[in-house]
Structure 1
Amino acid sequence: MRDHELPDGMPDFFTAAITFAGINLMWIFFVIWVMYGMVPVLVLAVLINHFITRLEIRLNSQKA
Structure 2
Amino acid sequence: MDRDKLGRAPNYTKACIVMFGVNITWILLFLFAIWGLVAAVFLGLAVNRWVDWLAYRKRLEEERWALPPKG
Question: TM class by shorter-chain length?
Answer: 0.7 to 0.9
Which is greater in Rg? 2
Q: TM-score, normalised by structure 1?
A: 0.82
**Counterparts of 2:49 and 2:55 in 1: how far apart (Å)?**
10
Aligned pairs (5 A) from 1:40-51: 40-51=39-50
Which TM-score applies when normalising by structure 2?
0.74
| Number of positions where the alignment pairs a residue of Structure 1 with one of Structure 2 | 58
CA-based RMSD of the aligned residues comes to 1.6
Cα offset, 1:10, TM superposition: 2.6
3-state SS of 1:11 partner: coil
Q: Where do 1:16-55 residues align within 5 Å?
A: 16-55=15-54
SS for the counterpart of 1:12 is coil
Q: For residue 13 of structure 2, what is the aligned residue in structure 1?
A: 14
Q: Distance in 2 between matches of 1:52 and 1:24?
A: 15
Runs of 4+ in 1 over 3 A off after TM superposition: none
Equivalents in 1 of 2:59, 2:15: separation in Å? 23
